[in-house]
Structure 1
């Protein structure tokens, strides 16, 4: 790829031939690399991948006239093209990161300091016997893209569990078919500290002990019961299969409930969480946090409008805005959110 000259790309969207005139890729020569996933690294990633308003104006048809197209369509094409353009820069960026990391390790070793290691603990060593099951019987409802997203969320659940002081007992039920094939892309997944079961959860456990977690349920969880088995539906559907998990629970005659979201926070968006967010909330509640603390420290800020706060006089709930300028006045507990895309044993 020539960085000094402009490069033309073509793409066919809805039978419309478009031409994108790209500009010179972002220069990362002045980036100062830091250790342990710094803000500098995140800024560089955004620099290489973000699409701005100026980029959207660079679309032209064969006659040089602007082509009618939604902003979303333009950004989708631009993002793909920009990703291809900046591939050499990403390689350079990742190479520099590795070089800096090796240098940092050498300096730590020379100075006699021990390099900190991520602490992990196996389920067999844990004093926590809380069982959480991911129901993987929904692969027929997901596209290939959604299956990949689902597998990534499963990786995050595994990473969260591995880094708990006392991990919960994690099960994957109905683990076969498409979802297993998708997970096979992650080398060594079969050796991870997870209980893989091909049978459905209702055959693997007593129905009387099961509580299926679904946002469509009218029942609310107040406390976590170690004798109960909590089921999380392994479905990524963008709300196209609304009520699917509730139908499964009702058809099997097992108990169902939802997380106490509306009782603790006001959300800007719909109250449907990702698989890993549900798992993380449960892990924090099991570890001793309140539901409010677990929800506020887990959910992205863009989803939270405000936290409900009970006054000492037991009057109506007061609303405390979840704003960065007022963080010092809130009771939010900041805890590290572990996200691990490529967790390995």
Structure 2
């Protein structure tokens, strides 16, 4: 028996297999990044648990003092709003699609920023008094953006219509589609029910300037830009992040005028001031499009600082 055991060939593993090149050991920087990432995930879980405990304590204290236990709408009310939107037909709802068909044009860190902005958009819509019908289109199944979504707990349960391997043109009628781009000659007057407004989900840092508009015109889609310069003056260029564009649409669709919506949405650092009545430009009065307008892409990184990674 001992002789037979001695004749048995040695177990072949990845390290002993003939022709196998040993793995290159990770560098110190790579190991450090791995440790930091693991620590971040653990700290995130602990931080969320502490936040839940703090909310419970504040709620108990407010209840003991006879004060309201909720500052904003209750979870039940938020859920009711989302159900109401979900029950609307395509003709009765204002649809907004975030075009995520730019998977291969972004680096890993920019993809993370893109998904983080999608989370912010979902949060804005969830807390809106009149939520819009939100779609995430053009997601490549098991692609970089899909994998980044998977890092957010419960992302599958968001009140969002995900469209994998299907673009906005596959989901909506082309006659009802409007792609929002700053290069468009048309000005968006107000979001209309039954239409779908597309915002490009591209973190490009101006490397692919005009790409969204080029794709839209190539597909034969209608385009439009937001009327920023018609209603406000800014100290800085009027390029907005995607979630700001979305928030503007929710406010105007809910009945706010453009001037009020813009002033309440865009960051104060842009120094926006309402135009005087005599300076307000209507779409019919404008002869040439303004060059610097709201861009349907993701740029303002500062506005995402200290934002949560998931919606509680």
C-alpha distance 145-271 of structure 1, shift in aligned 2 (>3 A): same
Aligned partner of 2:82 in structure 1 is: 123
C-alpha distance after superposition, 1:71-93 (max 9, x if no partner): xxxxxxxxxxxxxxxxxxxxx99
Asked whether 1:163 is paired with 2:127, we answer yes
> Distance between the aligned counterparts of 2:144 and 2:47, measured in 1?
35
| Secondary structure of the structure 2 residue equivalent to 1:197 | strand
TM-superposed CA distance for 1:146, in Å, is 1.0
Aligned partner of 1:144 in structure 2 is: 108
> Distance between the aligned counterparts of 1:190 and 1:113, measured in 2?
35
Asked whether 1:179 is paired with 2:138, we answer no
> Distance between the aligned counterparts of 1:243 and 1:234, measured in 2?
13
Match of 2:275 among 308, 311, 324: 308
> Distance between the aligned counterparts of 1:133 and 1:207, measured in 2?
13
C-alpha distance 316-95 of structure 1, shift in aligned 2 (>3 A): closer
Q: Kindly indicate which of the two structures has a greater share of residues assigned to strand.
A: 1
> Distance between the aligned counterparts of 1:269 and 1:316, measured in 2?
19
> Distance between the aligned counterparts of 2:148 and 2:135, measured in 1?
17
Asked whether 1:108 is paired with 2:62, we answer yes
Structure 1 unmatched runs, 5+: 1-11, 13-91, 319-336
TM-score (norm 1): 0.61
Structure 2 unmatched runs, 5+: 1-28, 30-45, 282-302
Aligned partner of 1:265 in structure 2 is: 232
> Distance between the aligned counterparts of 2:126 and 2:48, measured in 1?
26
Q: Kindly indicate which of the two structures has a greater share of residues assigned to helix.
A: 2
C-alpha distance after superposition, 1:108-135 (max 9, x if no partner): 2333545214541343313661111110
Aligned length: 235
TM-superposed CA distance for 1:269, in Å, is 2.5
Asked whether 1:221 is paired with 2:183, we answer no
C-alpha distance after superposition, 1:23-49 (max 9, x if no partner): xxxxxxxxxxxxxxxxxxxxxxxxxxx
Asked whether 1:284 is paired with 2:255, we answer no
Aligned partner of 1:210 in structure 2 is: 177
| Secondary structure of the structure 2 residue equivalent to 1:133 | strand
> Distance between the aligned counterparts of 2:170 and 2:49, measured in 1?
49
Q: Which one is further off, 98-107 or 259-268?
A: 98-107
Q: Which one is further off, 247-256 or 92-101?
A: 92-101
C-alpha distance 96-207 of structure 1, shift in aligned 2 (>3 A): closer
RMSD value, Cα: 3.1
Query: Which one scores higher on RCO, CA 8 angstroms, separation ≥ 6?
Result: 2
TM-superposed CA distance for 1:101, in Å, is 4.8
C-alpha distance after superposition, 1:136-193 (max 9, x if no partner): 0012111111111111111111011111222110001112221111111101101111
